[in-house]
Amino acid sequence: MEKVIGFDDLKVGQRVRVKGKLDGDAVKALEITMQPPEEDASISGMIESINYEKSSLRIIGRELTVPQNFEVKDLERNLVSFKNLKAQTMVTVKGKYSPPNSFVPRLIRMKEMLGLNVEKMKGTIEAIDHQKKTLRLLGFTVQASPKTIVEAL
């Protein structure tokens, strides 16, 4: 069971999941939850655009180039082609992240479209500014507000 904590309890190097919405250059956090350590990072959201020739897609305002050895899975978890992905499809992209902005996908999984879709990301906090209530996660600036729920495991 999670317990509510404050933004000031977060530290660089902790793994967190952020749910929020892209607003300009920052993700406005609705919820930040501490997570157990894991090797992969992930980004979930709607594909904004896709370029089959360059093997790239745009999600949460970020262009991701997909390597040759990656998998795409449909809603039933079947392996499908990159060409099955379309703009406006909800996906979770799992892969490796290394600063400053290098995210290398290894798996793209299609997700159900729900009434209220929020962007989600999981990774390790790279930097944090407790006074401004911001943190860096997967190269994104995440902005917390007084309404942001921060939870520990």
Compute the average pLDDT of residues 131-138. Answer: 96
Q: Which residue has the tokens 């490796």?
A: 96
Q: What is the pLDDT of residue 68?
A: 86
Q: Who's near 141: CB < 8 A, 6+ residues apart?
A: 25, 26, 27, 134, 135
Give the C-alpha separation, 51 to 61, whole Å.
Answer: 14
pLDDT tens for residues 101-121?
688 999 999 998 876 678 999
| Residue 103 buriedness (CB in 10 A; 0-12 / 13-18 / 19+) | buried
The pTM (predicted TM-score) of the whole model is 0.90
Q: What is the pLDDT of residue 144?
A: 96
Domains observed in the chain? 3-152 (2.40.50.320)
Give the C-alpha separation, 4 to 153, whole Å.
Answer: 9
Q: What is the pLDDT of residue 1?
A: 53
133: tokens are 């209530």
